[in-house]
Amino acid sequence: MSDKGDNMAMDDIKQSLSTIDPHSSSFDKEAALRHAKEKGWTEPVPYNYSTTGSQDAAEDAFSHPEAAWLSDAVRYEWSDDYGEVGPANPDLEQKLFYSEKLVKAGALIKAYEFEVTLEGPIHIHPVRDFDDAGLHPLMRENVRLCRYETPTPIQAYCIPSILLGHDIVACAQTGSGKTAAYLIPILSKLMGKARQVAANRPNPLTYNAITDRVRAEPLVLIVCPTRELACQIFDEARRLCYRTMLRPCVVYGGAPSRNQREELEKGCDVLIATPGRLCDFMNKTNLLSLARLKFTIIDEADEMLRDDWEETMSKIFGGGDANEDADHMYLMFSATFPKAARELARQYMAQDYVRIRVGRVGSTHGNIKQRIIWTEDSEKKKALYDLIFSMSPARTLVFVNNKREADFVDDFLYNAGLPSTSIHADRTQREREDALRSFKIATCPILVATGVTARGLDINNVMHVINFDLPSGQHGGIDEYVHRIGRTARIGNEGLATSFYNSRNEDIADDLVKILVESKQEIPDFLEDRVPETVTWDDDTDNEDLNADKENVPDAANDGYTFTAIDEADGFSADAETAGNW
């Protein structure tokens, strides 16, 4: 590691690279394992690849709930008809709301006090307290069980917007509570009328797969780009649907379609899906119909529209046999708002849709301490080893840029006595889910990952994110960097992000420095010449094409406005002032 970087205290590790390199003739695996144990790391657990994806593994998933497919996770179901509200289930409540694996809000939640900018002809008054949000009493109780004490800025504006029936495009920082921002008001809005608009559903406790199967006709569809994010949203839906008698399901590729099909055949009110598996099931009209949809949500819309999925997304938005109900609401949540997303919004959303932007699109927050260390490629292995051992054992996420590198770094750490695992697109879905499960329960508290986990991964106590490779400008660039480091310091907690930098990363250097300056982080000496006099962002997502839309918005000249809402006490205010016109 070069002395150009952060002056870190790593003097306690004096081993040469050959000593810790498993491919070196002088490598002593037993000594490496002893050293890791002395430092407090658990012993590495080998993965049993021989049963992965086999029939034995599938059967084991059902006999051992902790090894089941994530799509098979238990959800609230009751045999009798209790109307809109079911009775409490203490055992399930314990699993859903009191697990140590759940991310809990930290004391530094005020780091999310960004300016909130609204664009559109609708003036939205934010809610400062969940008690004042007009939620159904059961939904308010579920929010309390989730231990959400105060709405984050994105929640403060999304909840009233959705309850009032407005289409939404929303942009906010990672870890700011976007999933709850749409699930809470949507489920609350359905309470009281779900029985009238939902399809008939069999009794789950007396269900007979031969005689009782139904076609799934969800009221809510949530589409997202990755399998891991789909399962993450499903987990949140399981909690917020507790006792509501609304049944969530998730479908995604890689896992057995039979399992997911069987869950749909029991009935589904809230469907979370990745595009490929969703389109497959949409083609089976006896299995899935979108004719009853009331809400369509596209999560991580910028990513969804980046990978040549425009045709797929148009099919999903069109819904195949989806109804054309005037009350059908469309919501898009995105880290950025690229042109393709804007065109899709204009095509399907109401003309007076509300746009909510929390802070600068693509920014991060001050709860993440960011360190940039000059490290030549040939020194990265030793730098990683030294960095991990310079700190107390903690849940650590290591990002690399390709699948081969993920396997390489995982093998290196594992053979050096550290409890690591890896996840990337070439892993089977069983391996990916087992890796995430091992990371969550700290059997393998070090996870080596590609960008497949850069978005949406929400795991408790991820204390350290390490960019073994920084993303290149051609593959995600600074947006990818922001998403990666956003896996730590979630909802008010603190975290550390360390990145190895060298001359190969100069294509993102200017943007990286601007991120450091914006979030008040230390600038390493080798990047000081990149510090601009004033930080400006070329954000074409804010104003492009807005003037062209005026003629399509009734009375836009008089009623349309952009306003910025912020106050010193809470970071956002109900008393917003008009700052300009659309």
pLDDT tens-digit series, residues 229-251: 999 999 999 999 999 989 999 99
Split at pLDDT 50, 70, 90, the class of 1 is very low
Lowest mean pLDDT, pick from 77-81, 90-94, 218-222, 364-368 = 77-81
Span 163-189, mean pLDDT? Answer: 90
pLDDT for the residue 344: 73
Span 526-550, mean pLDDT? Answer: 67
Cα separation of 581 and 562, whole Å? 6
Span 366-389, mean pLDDT? Answer: 94
Question: pLDDT: is 270 or 343 the higher one?
Answer: 270
Q: Among the residues of 223-292, which ranges form H helices?
A: 227-240, 257-264, 275-282
Split at pLDDT 50, 70, 90, the class of 214 is very high
pLDDT for the residue 455: 73
Split at pLDDT 50, 70, 90, the class of 566 is very low
- 566 burial level (CB within 10 Å; 0-12, 13-18, 19+): middle
The whole model's pTM is what?
0.82
Cα separation of 52 and 542, whole Å? 47
Asked if residue 78 has pLDDT above 60, the reply is: yes
Around 156, how many Cα atoms within 13 Å sit in the side-chain half-sphere?
28
Distance (Å) of CA 336 to CA 114, 406, 512: 16, 27, 17
For 123-153, the pLDDT digits (tens) are 899 999 999 999 999 999 999 999 998 898 8
Percent of the chain scored above 90 by pLDDT?
47
pLDDT for the residue 348: 79
pLDDT for the residue 126: 94
Asked if residue 580 has pLDDT above 90, the reply is: no
For 284-314, the pLDDT digits (tens) are 999 999 999 999 999 987 777 665 666 777 7
Span 536-545, mean pLDDT? Answer: 54
Question: pLDDT: is 355 or 327 the higher one?
Answer: 355
Cβ atoms of 478 and 363 within 8 Å: the answer is no
Task: With residue 580 as reference, give the H or E element that holds it.
Answer: strand 577-580
CA 274 to chain centroid = 13
Span 81-93, mean pLDDT? Answer: 86
For 420-447, the pLDDT digits (tens) are 999 998 999 899 999 988 998 889 999 9
Cα separation of 412 and 356, whole Å? 44
3-state secondary structure 494-561: CEEEEEEECHHHHHHHHHHHHHHHHCCCCCCHHHHHHCCCCCCCCCCCCCCCHHHHHHHCCCHHHHCE
Q: What is the dihedral of CA 431, 433, 439, 443, to 10 degrees?
A: -60
pLDDT for the residue 60: 38
Cα separation of 273 and 264, whole Å? 12
Coil, strand or helix at 240 = helix
> Which tokens in the block code for residue 372?
């940039």
Lowest mean pLDDT, pick from 76-85, 220-229, 452-461, 538-547 = 538-547
CATH of domain 72-358: 3.40.50.300
Cβ atoms of 365 and 390 within 8 Å: the answer is no
Asked if residue 404 has pLDDT above 90, the reply is: yes
pLDDT for the residue 138: 96
pLDDT for the residue 313: 73
Residues of the chain with CATH 3.40.50.300: 72-358, 365-530
Lowest mean pLDDT, pick from 10-19, 184-193, 516-525 = 10-19
Asked if residue 370 has pLDDT above 60, the reply is: yes
Percent of the chain scored above 70 by pLDDT?
76
Fold of the domain spanning 365-530: Rossmann fold (3.40.50)
Split at pLDDT 50, 70, 90, the class of 7 is very low
Lowest mean pLDDT, pick from 9-18, 220-229, 317-326, 369-378 = 9-18
